[in-house]
């Protein structure tokens, strides 16, 4: 439908215009301008009848909210940065370098849900990460001890937005690159907030519960991310109670894949865990994000209508026993709990337990519990007994510069990156709190 | 307070640096001592083409190992950094050496006369670009500015991550608009372009009873830039409210709004029709400008 008016101005097509139509790209053929239009009647149709607005389908909203985008085709490609290697994560001279994540590793990390929707992966062409001092400190020590078949039990702590989950991701990346079996619980609050189904595990005293669907999903993610390692290991124990028939020389990957039924998810997961604890297996890395969520009484109820403690769920119990040092790992293991500050219910037991763990680590006198507070949770102290606390700190200006140069090279940060601007942003970001640095640099409007 | 007669005040402002600093080199000694500082992140609405080889050269600190020490670029250490503060101080000292008073030219002023006085409504810094500020406040409901800002951040992010728009030749954008493929990397320019392109040039004012017989006389009136943008945003919001719900929670509205902005740029939006209607009406109502009733009123 041709317009009687010009789109940009109020001029009307004159004969002169019609003879020289080159300035109006749409009017290639002057005869296509209709002598009359029906647009007036078209526009005059009854607009009062508004169509009812359809609601989105079930699950559509959550999927939209939780989607993870790892690339942005609009951002410029930053070439010349090396691919991440295992050595780079433990090398003190690599501090401040940006490295791209290899495709295979990205797939593995994505499968176990190491990337979070709140992180800014979607702004850049491909996933890159900064090797920071904390990374090298934490992973260097951890890798050395796991090589000696020790068990590393750590809680990652730090201010809000300082990069705790990101360090967790780097830990998992190191785990994959060092051929460990990586198990990850991406959001601990999913296990306690009564969002997923649960069931009683028969013949357990005190009674224990499992999350059938959640564990099945976890099992499948774990199998597909660790396929390379698991398929090389042959089962050693008898698993007659499991469904299906496992042959004698079936691999652990087959064992993990033996059921698609939620009701058998926990027995299979437990069998896999027992297999991994046999001597001669690859080391285990078990990480959990949002540790403080499982240090409380959950929102689930038992058949007698009592609230269930989070540690009475089989999966959290497995993690908590490993973290508290009750499980013996003959092949070395890294049990890492990442605290969260974004949605944290303050809990005095967790705070005190971590305070005591910090003091023990620094070989200082252990601070005593508040004698006037009666609601300390003994199971929390049990779970955090003897853990190491790793405090994630702010980044230095050098690291900030490296990061900002990467942002600028990607075309996302549109400003000069020099000593002055780096220093300015670093200061604005609370002296190098990484999440705040992203907020002040990548977003024009307040987020 | 430093005494005006002593040269030490000028000496104090001399800074000694063993190596030159890059950011000072570009400042001319003749630069005005005060100029409106503008915030880099807010004023950058100009869109540039990305560098021709879009793989881009690597920034210097990324190329090698990031080490704390950078080699000195200048062969010999300079005594004074070549910045405008030092240049001014040296000029003052020379003035004193020539036997004049240090503050001869500026009677009674400690820091001299400003070359350009800031106006009444000038800000030293503006937090947000002008369009962003206006649009954010138009998105606001129930006085919840913070929520509107979060929505705006989401909109800009959405524009930045969605694929480059395909501009329709039937709905030309503002003349001189940057090429479409550069828009996503500059979301503020993207938003500004969409709003400015679809904004009507005029409004129709109804003069009650002036046409005679109780009929209103319709007169086209030009609008200021800010008014035009306001009308455009209202139209876009009307279109957004008719859309199907997307996502949930806090990003639902922003997602719809961002999609509408893209639809405007691509010429798919119904807002263009509203603009056309107003313009048609305006063209027809031009005849009324010479209406006797109006001419009589002007006298």
CATH of the domain at B200: 1.10.455.10
- Binned at pLDDT 50, 70 and 90, residue B78 comes out as low
Mark whether B156 and B284 lie in a shared domain: yes
Residues B124-183 pLDDT 10s: 777 889 999 999 999 999 999 999 999 999 999 999 999 999 999 999 999 999 999 999
Local confidence band at B54 (pLDDT 50, 70, 90 cut-offs): very low
pLDDT of residue A270: 96
Which sequence spans correspond to the domains of chain A?
1-45, 97-392, 397-442
B280 and B146 in a common domain: yes
Is B52 inside a domain boundary? no
Please say whether the beta carbons of A327 and A277 come within 8 A.
yes
- H helix or E strand, kind and range, residue B212: strand B202-212
Q: Is residue B43's pLDDT more than 90?
A: no
Q: Which residues between 227 and 286 in chain B have a beta carbon less than 8 angstroms from any beta carbon of chain A?
A: 242-249, 251-252, 255, 272-273, 276-277, 279-280, 282-283
B229 within 8 A of B198, measured Cβ to Cβ: no
* Test mutation, A445, A446, A447, chain B, max B CBs within 10 A: A445
List chain B residues with CB under 8 Å of A124: none
**pLDDT higher than 80, residue B39:** no
Same domain, B254 and B170: yes
Q: Does residue B291 lie within any of the structural domains?
A: yes
Handedness of CA A232, A238, A244, A249 (dihedral sign): positive
Predicted local distance difference test score (pLDDT) of residue A51: 59
Residues B110 and B135 in one domain: no
What is the pLDDT, as a whole number, of residue A198? 97
Q: At what angle do helices A265-276 and A314-323 cross, to 10 degrees?
A: 20
Whether residues B153 and B31 fall in one domain: no
Task: Say whether both B36 and B153 belong to one domain.
Answer: no
| CA–CA gap between residue A425 and residue A98 (Å, rounded) | 19
User: Are B150 and A446 in contact (CB < 8 Å)?
Assistant: yes
Integer angstrom CA distances of residue A143 from A5, A135, A169, A264, B43: 72, 12, 15, 34, 47
Q: Cβ contacts (< 8 Å) between B272 and chain A: which residues?
A: 7
Residue bearing the bigger pLDDT, B238 or B244: B238
Confirm if A426 and A391 have CB atoms less than 8 A apart.
no
Domain containing residue B242: 130-298
Q: Is the pLDDT score of B215 beyond 60?
A: yes
Q: How many domains does chain B have?
A: 2
| B54 inside domain | no
Residue among A243, A280, A252 at smallest CA distance from A183: A252
Range with the lowest mean pLDDT among A12-21, B13-22, B211-220, B238-247?
B13-22
Query: SS3 string of chain A?
Result: CCCCCCCCCCCCCCHHHHHCHHHCCCCCCHHHCCCCCCHHHHHCCCCCCCCCCCCCCCCHHHHHHHCCCCCCCCCCCCCCCCECCCHHHHCHHHCCCEEECCHHHHHHHHHCCCCCCCCCHHHCCCCEEECCHHHHHHHHHHHHHHHCCCEEEEEEEECCCCCHHHHHHHHHHHHHHCCCEEEEECCCHHHHCCCCCCEEECCCCCCEEECHHHHHHHHHHHHHHCHHHHCCCECCCCCCCCCCCCCCCCEHHHHHCCCCCHHHHHHHHHHHHHHHCCCCCCCEEEEEECHHHHCCEEEEECCCCCEEEHHHEHHHHHHHHHHCCCCCCCCCEEEEEECCCCCCCCCHHHHHHHHHHHHHHCCCCCCCCCCCCCCCCHHHHHHCCCCEEEEECCCCHHHHHHHHHHHHHCCCCCCCCCHHHHHHHHHHCCCCCHHHHHHHHHCCCCC
Indicate if the pLDDT at residue A439 is higher than 60: yes
B70 assigned to some structural domain: no
Closest CA to B42 of B175, B255, B186, B161: B186
How far are the Cα atoms of A229, A375, A412 from residue A348, in angstroms, in the given order?
40, 9, 42
Model-level pTM greater than 0.95?
no
Does B15 score more than 50 pLDDT? Answer: no
> In this complex, do A94 and B65 lie within 8 Å of one another by their Cβ atoms?
yes
Asked if the structure places residue B249 within a domain, the reply is yes
- Are A414 and B186 an interchain contact pair (Cβ–Cβ within 8 Å)? yes
Q: Which of A249, A327, A337, A263 is nearest to A293 (CA)?
A: A337
Mutate to test the interface with B, among A118, A444, A446, A447 (most CBs of B within 10 A): A444
B37/A contact by beta carbon, under 8 A: no
Q: Has residue B4 got a pLDDT over 50?
A: no
Q: Please tell me the predicted confidence (pLDDT) of residue A19.
A: 44
> Domain check: are B87 and B202 in the same one?
no
Instruction: Express each pLDDT in A182-215 by its tens digit.
Output: 999 999 999 999 989 999 999 998 899 999 999 9
What confidence tier does B270 reach under pLDDT thresholds 50, 70, 90?
very high
From the list B149, B242, B273, which residue is nearest A446 (CB)?
B149
Residue of chain B with shortest Cα separation from A65? B247
Residue of higher predicted confidence among B205 and B106: B205
Tokens of A170: 């780097």
* Edge-to-edge strand ranges of the sheet holding A151-158: A181-185, A284-289, A333-338, A151-158, A388-392
pLDDT for residue A98: 96
Residue scoring higher pLDDT (A40 or B65): A40
Look at B166 and B3; give whichever has higher pLDDT: B166
Q: Quick one: pLDDT at residue A3?
A: 56
**Per-residue pLDDT reduced to its tens digit, A11-70:** 665 555 444 444 444 434 444 445 555 555 555 555 555 556 667 778 877 887 788 999
Same domain for B141 and B241? yes
Instruction: Tell whether B155 and B9 lie within a shared domain.
Output: no
User: Are residues B261 and B145 part of one domain?
Assistant: yes
Q: Are residues B229 and B110 in the same domain?
A: no
pLDDT at res. A75? 94
Q: What is the pLDDT of residue B87?
A: 79
Q: Are residues B39 and B111 in the same domain?
A: yes
DSSP string for B234-246: HHHHHHHHTSPP-
List CB contacts (< 8 A) between A96 and chain B: 61, 66
According to the model, what pLDDT value does residue A243 have? 84
pLDDT above 90: percentage of residues in chain A: 77
pLDDT at B69: 47
């Amino acid at each position: 439908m041709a317009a009687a008016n010009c789109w940009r101005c109020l001029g009307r097509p004159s004969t002169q215009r019609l003879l020289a139509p080159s300035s109006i790209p749409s009017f290639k053929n002057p005869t296509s301008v209709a002598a009359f239009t029906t647009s007036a009647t078209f526009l005059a149709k009854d607009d009062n009848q508004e169509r009812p607005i359809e609601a989105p389908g079930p699950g559509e909203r959550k999927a939209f909210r939780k989607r993870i985008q790892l690339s942005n085709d609009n951002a410029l490609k930053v070439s010349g940065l090396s691919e991440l290697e295992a050595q780079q994560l433990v090398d003190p001279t690599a501090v401040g370098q940006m490295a791209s994540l290899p495709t295979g590793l990205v797939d593995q990390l994505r499968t176990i849900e190491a990337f979070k929707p709140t992180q800014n992966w979607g702004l850049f062409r491909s996933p890159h990460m900064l090797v920071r001092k904390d990374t090298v400190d934490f992973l260097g020590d951890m890798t050395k001890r796991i090589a000696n078949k020790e068990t590393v039990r750590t809680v990652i702590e730090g201010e809000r937005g300082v990069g705790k989950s990101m360090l967790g991701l780097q830990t998992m990346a190191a785990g994959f690159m060092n051929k460990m079996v990586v198990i990850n619980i991406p959001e601990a609050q999913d296990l306690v907030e009564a969002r997923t189904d649960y069931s009683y595990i028969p013949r357990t005293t005190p009674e224990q519960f499992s999350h059938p669907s959640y564990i099945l999903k976890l099992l499948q993610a774990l199998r597909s991310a660790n396929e390379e390692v698991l398929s090389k290991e042959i089962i050693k124990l008898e698993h007659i109670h499991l469904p299906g028939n496992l042959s004698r020389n079936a691999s652990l990957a087959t064992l993990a894949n033996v059921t698609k039924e939620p009701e058998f998810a926990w027995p299979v997961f437990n069998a896999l865990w027992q297999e991994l604890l046999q001597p001669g297996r690859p080391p285990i890395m078990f990480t959990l994000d949002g540790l403080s969520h499982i240090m409380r009484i959950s929102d689930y109820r038992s058949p007698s209508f009592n609230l269930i403690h989070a540690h009475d769920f089989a999966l959290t119990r497995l993690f908590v026993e490993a973290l508290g040092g009750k499980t013996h790992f003959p092949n070395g293991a890294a049990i890492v709990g990442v605290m969260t500050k974004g949605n944290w219910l303050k809990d005095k037991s967790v705070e005190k337990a971590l305070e005591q763990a910090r003091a023990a680590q620094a070989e200082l006198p252990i601070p005593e519990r508040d004698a006037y507070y009666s609601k300390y949770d003994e199971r929390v102290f049990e779970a955090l007994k003897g853990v190491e606390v790793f405090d994630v700190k702010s980044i230095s200006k050098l690291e900030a510069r490296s990061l900002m140069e990467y942002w600028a090279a990607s075309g996302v940060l549109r400003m000069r990156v020099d000593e002055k601007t780096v220093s300015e942003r670093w200061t604005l970001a609370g002296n190098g709190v990484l999440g705040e640095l992203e907020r002040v640099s990548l977003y024009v409007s307040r987020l | 307070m430093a005494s005006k007669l002593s040269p030490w005040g000028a000496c104090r402002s001399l800074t000694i640096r063993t190596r030159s600093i890059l950011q000072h080199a570009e400042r001319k000694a003749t630069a005005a001592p005060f100029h409106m500082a503008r915030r880099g992140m807010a004023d950058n609405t100009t869109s540039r083409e990305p560098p021709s080889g879009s793989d881009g050269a690597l920034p210097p600190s990324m190329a090698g190992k990031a080490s704390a020490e950078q080699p000195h670029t200048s062969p010999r250490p300079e005594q004074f950094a070549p910045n405008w503060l030092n240049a001014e101080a040296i000029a003052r000292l020379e003035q004193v050496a020539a036997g004049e008073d240090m503050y001869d030219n500026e009677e009674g002023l400690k820091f001299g006369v400003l070359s350009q006085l800031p106006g009444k409504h000038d800000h030293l810094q503006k937090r947000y670009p002008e369009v962003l500020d206006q649009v954010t406040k138009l998105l606001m409901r129930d006085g919840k500015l913070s929520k509107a800002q979060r929505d705006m951040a989401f909109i800009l992010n959405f524009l930045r991550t969605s694929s480059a728009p395909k501009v329709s030749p039937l709905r030309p954008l503002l003349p001189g608009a940057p090429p479409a493929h550069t828009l996503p990397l500059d979301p503020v320019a993207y938003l500004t372009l969409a709003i400015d392109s679809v904004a009507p040039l005029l409004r129709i004012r109804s003069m009650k009873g002036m046409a005679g017989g109780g009929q209103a006389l319709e007169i086209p009136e030009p609008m200021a830039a800010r008014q035009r943008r306001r009308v455009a945003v209202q139209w876009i919001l009307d279109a957004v409210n008719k859309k199907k719900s997307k996502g949930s929670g806090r990003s639902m509205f922003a997602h719809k709004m961002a999609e509408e902005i893209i639809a405007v740029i691509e010429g798919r939006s119904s807002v263009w029709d509203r603009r056309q209607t107003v313009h048609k009406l305006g063209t027809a109502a031009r005849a009324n400008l010479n209406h006797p009733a109006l001419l009589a009123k002007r006298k």
